[in-house]
Each structure stands twice: as C-alpha cells, then as structure tokens.
Amino acid sequence: QQQVKQSPQSLIVQKGGISIINCAYENTAFDYFPWYQQFPGKGPALLIAIRPDVSEKKEGRFTISFNKSAKQFSLHIMDSQPGDSATYFCAASTSGSARQLTFGSGTQLTVLP
C-alpha cells in the first residue's frame, strides 16, 4: 500500500516536444506529491510539488496534473530541451511523516536535439 508506481521507465522525446510521466499510488493518506530530477553523479533535486487540494500546478515549463479520485498524478514537461535529459522521480508522503518519501522507480528522459 506504500508503493508508488511510475511509468514509463524510459522516454525519448524530440527537442520542443512534450514529455509526460505518470505515477499512481494506493495509500490515500498521502497528501504531498513532489517530483525530483536527478542528473548523473548528483543527488535528486526538487522540481515541483503538489497537494491534493488542487488539480494542477504549473511552474515554467513544468506542470503537475493531479487526479485524486483516480489516485494518479503526472508530470508534463513542455517544450522539452536537451538539458532536461535526466532521471525523474515522483514521490509521495503523508503530513505525519513528511520527510519519509516513497519514491517511484524513476523515468530516464532523453531529449534529442
């Protein structure tokens, strides 16, 4: 019940295209859903996060869409750039254990020039 399922495992997109990564969760107690970006040799870095009281959050080219009834959330990267090539992780946590993130398995994004 703690699992967060992420898909696809890998994604190749042309420069300027839209990258979409999906996650699904089971634990209805989750109330914080961040996305992290990780480059090789680096630790994950927070990209954008959402709480279930909103259905969408946008920050620049990055948008999270959240569907509470379906227990799904997704990351959309608009106008994808080669510099966006990295591994993306969705995650979830509860208010009572805010720093105990349950991570998805990761999506390796490659943006072709």
Partner 1 sequence: KAGVTQTPRYLIKTRGQQVTLSCSPISGHRSVSWYQQTPGQGLQFLFEYFSETQRNKGNFPGRFSGRQFSNSRSEMNVSTLELGDSALYLCASSLSGDNTGELFFGEGSRLTVL
Q: Which two tokens stand for residue 93?
A: 């946590």
**Which one, of 67, 75, 79, 62, lies nearest residue 104 by Cα?**
75
Least CB distance to partner 1 at residue 27 (A): 14
Helix (H) or strand (E) holding 75: strand 72-77
Beta bridge partners of 66: 73
Nearest approach in angstroms of CB 47 to partner 1 is 11
- Member of 12, 18, 29, 45 binding partner 1 (CB under 8 A): 45
Tokens of 13: 């997109």
Contact status: 86 vs partner 1 (CB under 8 A) = no
Query: Which has the closest alpha carbon to 108: 91, 87, 83?
Result: 87
Q: Where are the alpha helices (DSSP H) in the chain?
A: none
Please tell me whether residue 109 binds partner 1 under the rule CB under 8 A: no
Q: Does 41 bind partner 1 (CB under 8 A)?
A: yes
37 binds partner 1 (CB under 8 A): no
Tell me which of 27, 81, 105, 110 binds partner 1, using CB under 8 A.
105
Site for partner 1, rule CB under 8 A = 32, 34, 36, 41-46, 49, 89, 91, 93, 95, 97-106
